[in-house]
Amino acid sequence: MSNPPIKVLLIEDDAECADALREMLSQEKNPSFEMECAKKLQTGLERLAKGGIHVVLLDLVLPDSQGLDTLARVQAQAAEIPIIVVTGMADETHALEALRHGAQEYLVKGEVHGKMLSRVMRYAMERMCAEERVKVEKAQAERLAKELDRVVKELKEAQEEMLRREKVLATGELAAAVAHEIRNPLSIISMSVQYLQSKFLSKDPRREFTEAIVRKVQRLDAVTKRLVSYGRHRELKLVRRNLKRCLGRTLSLMKVHCKAQGIAIVRRYSSKLPLVVVDEEMLDEALTNLLTNAVEAMPKGGKLMLEAAYDPARDEAVIKINDTGIGILPKYREDLFKPFFSTKKESGGTGLGLAISHRIIADHGGSVTVESCISGANRGTSFTIRLPVKGPHLLPPSSRASAVSFGDYDKQGKKVVESETAHHAAASAHH
């Protein structure tokens, strides 16, 4: 079976030359050629625009264009079609110049014969195809290289994050151990100094020293408590609880501070709040840290809003703590959850509150995010906690088969049975 004809566009004003070339090509079979002819560059360009041409034979000297400009305009019209320059001048330099500018080949009029013409055109097409393939492959290789760069960067970041976490965990455990050791002698110092103080009359100048010691001991006590809380490895004691009740209990502890500081508390709970599987004590600690920060951000009063809702699409409880306080400068956002980051060191901040909350929420399989504004009508900060209603589920399904159940009672006094999977999963999240 013969191949379909190769469509040739000859752009040439010399009718004699055109006839000669047409005659030569008509003799060629397999492949056969179909030649169309344009006498002006403009007509040639219009024909090219319609498509279907496989190869162009181009005279550089035409009524409406001369020299390399002719070549450039054809190339601009059909970059992917091979161009063979037909020169009547037997001028090698001119033709070589055309090759340097992207023509595939050149032929000298009067020195052409059928077989040669056919061969030159086929080779030109082959070369063009090969060049196109190289271009495509080069573009592909560049894309792959970029993708590889991106993956390497991501891997590097993930590795750094892992190292950072390991470091944080290791320092946390060490800090907790040291803090634990400090707490006993600290309570003895505290008791002793209070005893000493009770022996001094209120006007005794030595009281100044004992009072300073009491203050510093209290500060040390607060820091060590925080450190133990941050670094201690605790297994989650998961129970199913009414979210509204959890929030209510935590909030009630803040009421006195709020009243004293002129902070109004607003609750906005959606009517369909779910039961959540949580470690109550830990959730309490996480929420208290966030609420305390909110209160501390409003020394001159303001509004503390606690919102709670259920997101059925993700089966998550969503808790928002909004304040109308001083806000957080954008430059601090990145460091907020890092341990020991605090802008309140002077007033006794340890910078562990958010780190502890973050870890607790993460252990529950949830997330904490923050939005803040330091000026204008929206001034204030909003922390959003998302908690999977069913608690942390990190174990693969296969290991759930052997799960033992443990229970708790819900509001109606019904026993709620939870698979221990979540319990184990949470424990493994600590490691």
Binding stretches for ligand ATP (CB under 6 A):
226, 289, 293-294, 297, 323, 325-326, 328, 336, 341-344, 349-355, 381
Least spacing, CB of residue 226 vs Mg ion, in Å: 9
Minimal CB distance residue for Mg ion: 353
d(CA 152, CA 334): 23
Residue with tokens 């190769």: 6
* Contact between 365 and Mg ion per CB under 5 A: no
- If we measure between CA atoms, which residue out of 363, 366, 271 comes closest to residue 310? 271
Nearer to Mg ion, 293 or 372 (CB): 293
274 part of the interface to Mg ion, by CB under 5 A = no
Residue in the shown chain whose Cβ atom is closest to ligand ATP: 353
Distance of CA 128 to the CA centre of its chain: 41
Query: Which partner from the list ligand ATP, Mg ion, none does 352 bind, CB cut-off 5 to 8 Å by kind?
Result: ligand ATP
Residue number with CB closer to ligand ATP (118 or 322): 322
**Range 393-402 burial, b when 16+ CB lie within 10 A, else e:** bbbeeeeeee
Smallest gap from residue 253 Cβ to ligand ATP (A) = 15
Residues whose CB is less than 8 angstroms from the CB of residue 251 and which lie 6 or more positions away in sequence, other chains included: 265, 267, 291, 306
Q: Which residue has the tokens 């000493």?
A: 196
Question: Which residue's entry shows tokens 């090219």?
Answer: 48
Task: Compute the least distance from the CB of residue 260 to ligand ATP, in Å.
Answer: 18
CB neighbour class for 420 (10 Å; exposed up to 12, middle 13-18, buried from 19): middle
Report the residue number, 125 or 291, with the smaller CB distance to ligand ATP: 291
Query: For residue 396, is the peptide bond before it cis, meaning its omega torsion is within 30 degrees of 0?
Result: no
Residue 381 interacts with, from Mg ion, ligand ATP, none (CB under 5-8 Å by kind): ligand ATP
Nearer to Mg ion, 28 or 284 (CB): 284
Q: Which is nearer to ligand ATP, 35 or 355 (CB)?
A: 355
Within 337-356, the residues that bind Mg ion by CB under 5 A are 353
x/- mask, Mg ion, residues 62-101, rule CB under 5 A, reads ----------------------------------------
Instruction: Give min distance, CB of 182 to ligand ATP, in A.
Output: 17
Least Å distance, CB 413 to Mg ion, is 37
Q: What angle do CA 404, 406, 411 make, to 5 degrees?
A: 150
> Which CB atom, from 104 or from 372, has the smaller least distance to ligand ATP?
372
Q: Which stretch binds Mg ion (CB under 5 A): 28-36, 101-109, 175-183, 285-293?
A: 285-293
- Considering CB under 5 A, how many residues would be counted as binding Mg ion? 2
Considering CB distances under 5 to 8 angstroms, the limit depending on partner class, which of ligand ATP, Mg ion, none binds residue 351?
ligand ATP
Question: Which one among 118, 250, 293, 372 touches Mg ion, defined by CB under 5 A?
Answer: 293
CA distance readout (Å), 353 to 204, 221, 285, 319, 341: 38, 15, 9, 17, 9
Shortest reach from residue 292's CB to ligand ATP, in Å: 6
Residue 74 partner contact from Mg ion, ligand ATP, none using kind-dependent CB cut-offs of 5 to 8 Å: none
By C-beta, is 70 or 350 nearer to ligand ATP?
350
Nearer to ligand ATP, 93 or 347 (CB): 347
User: Which of ligand ATP, Mg ion, none sits in contact with 18, Cβ below 5 to 8 A by type?
Assistant: none
Q: Which of 74, 130, 126 is nearest to 103 (CA)?
A: 74
**Pick 324 or 419: Cβ nearer ligand ATP:** 324
Q: How far is the CB of 254 from ligand ATP (least distance, A)?
A: 13
Give contact residues for Mg ion (rule: CB under 5 A): 293, 353
